[in-house]
């Protein structure tokens, strides 16, 4: 195509063809990119609404993991004497709770997002993938706030930070990707099967115990460690801890965990795109 007429080009850019014979007529990546501002606005809405009409407001983002940390310290460190890889248990638990709370809140928010946006889905078109993505992005804001507490905790327990801290954003990005993948899968299933609403809280709880949030991966017997690494959250949590505390990274194990994350996310997006054409009729 020549560049002779920008006008014609721009209207060609917006040519939409929908054919009943073709599967997944919707949203390519280009279209998703065009709607990036909507993702921003929906995220912003979720952030704005999250703590409306609460007394403590945004402090809840810190209170949630903080209370869990105190509870875990009392029960698992004091009573059950669970080790914590030579890091004081409260800090150890908080470092695991940060990605975990983000993940758990995000997938719960995502799972209910499509059904909760039935009004949007049946009345206006935009790439549907934005809907389950927004609660994850909004969760990142909470994660950032909760992170503020890490600094005084590190200082209080006199942990020296290393260059490895620079890798922290990588693991948080990984957590975001995984939360998006799992959340999207749950949201898609929820449109069709409202069972998800009841099954999800149980699944989240089960997943918490299957992940090294409360306990260190090192207490898992060596021959079962690879099973544990198949859980994508294991990689995220171990990675975050290593980055914070300067422990050596277990690269092969992280690679396995990451590969599973990619697979889960890819399958979930694939399933979503097959199902999205029918959302308006089924929701």
Partner 1 sequence: MEPIIKAEGLGKRYVIGANRSQTSLRDDLAARASASFRRLRGGARDTSPTIWALKDVSFEVQPGEVVGIIGRNGSGKSTLLKILSRITKPTTGRFTLTGRVGSLLEVGTGFHSELTGRENIFLNGAILGMSKSEIESKFDEIVAFAETAQFLDTPVKHYSSGMTVRLAFAVAAHLEPEILIIDEVLAVGDVAFQKKCLGKMNEVARHGRTVLFVSHDISAVNALCSRSILLHEGSILKSGETEDVTRFYLDSANKLYSPVTWADLPEKENTDIQLERVGIEQRETETSAIDCREPFTIRLEYENKKALAGSRFFIVIRNARGDIVFTTSDYDLLTEEAADRKVGRFNTEVVIPGGLLRAGSYFGTVGADIKNERIIFVENDVLDFEVFESADDTLAERHKRLGLVAPLLQWQISEPTSKTKS
**Residue in the structure block whose two tokens are 């875990």:** 72
CA-nearest of 9, 47, 25 to 125 is: 25
In angstroms, how far is the first alpha carbon of the chain from the final one? 41
**Residue in the structure block whose two tokens are 């969760």:** 139
| Torsion sign over Cα 138, 139, 142, 144 | negative
Six-digit token pair at 209? 């115990």
User: Minimal distance in Å, beta carbon 179 to partner 1?
Assistant: 23
Q: Please state the separation of Cα 69 from the chain's center in Å.
A: 20
Number of other residues whose CB lies within 10 A of the CB of residue 275: 18
* Residue ranges binding partner 1 (CB under 8 A): 11-12, 14-21, 25-26, 35, 37-38, 40-42, 44-45, 48-49, 52-53, 119-126, 192-195, 277-278, 280-283
Six-digit token pair at 134? 């927004």
Residue pair 115/191 in contact (Cβ under 8 Å)? The answer is yes
CA atoms within 13 A on the CB side of 53: 1
Quote the CA–CA distance of 136 and 82 in Å, as a whole number: 31
Could you tell me which residues come within 8 angstroms of residue 67 by beta carbon, excluding any fewer than 6 positions away?
none
């Amino acid at each position: 195509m020549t560049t002779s007429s920008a006008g014609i080009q721009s209207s060609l850019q917006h040519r939409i063809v929908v054919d009943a014979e073709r599967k997944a007529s919707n949203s390519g990546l280009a279209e998703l990119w065009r709607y990036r501002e909507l993702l921003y606005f929906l995220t912003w809405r979720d952030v704005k609404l999250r703590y409306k009409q609460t007394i403590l407001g945004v402090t809840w983002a810190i209170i949630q993991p903080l209370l869990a940390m105190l509870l875990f310290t009392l029960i698992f460190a004091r009573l059950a004497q669970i080790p914590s890889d030579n890091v004081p248990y409260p800090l150890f638990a908080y470092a695991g709770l940060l990605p975990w709370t983000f993940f758990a809140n995000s997938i719960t928010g995502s799972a209910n997002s499509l059904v909760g946006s039935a009004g949007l889905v049946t009345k206006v078109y935009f790439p549907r993938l934005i809907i389950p993505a927004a609660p994850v992005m909004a969760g990142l804001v909470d994660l950032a706030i909760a992170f503020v507490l890490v600094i005084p905790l590190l200082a209080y327990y006199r942990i020296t930070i290393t260059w490895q801290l620079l890798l922290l954003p990588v693991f948080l990005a990984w957590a975001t990707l995984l939360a998006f993948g799992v959340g999207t899968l749950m949201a898609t299933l929820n449109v069709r099967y409202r069972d998800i609403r009841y099954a999800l809280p149980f699944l989240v709880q089960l997943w918490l115990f299957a992940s090294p949030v409360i306990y260190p991966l090192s207490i898992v017997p060596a021959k079962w460690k690879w099973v544990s690494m198949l859980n994508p959250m294991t990689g995220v949590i171990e990675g975050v801890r290593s980055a914070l505390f300067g422990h050596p990274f277990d690269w092969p194990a992280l690679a396995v965990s990451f590969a599973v994350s990619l697979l889960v996310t890819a399958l979930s997006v694939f399933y979503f795109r097959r199902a999205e054409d029918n959302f308006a009729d089924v929701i």
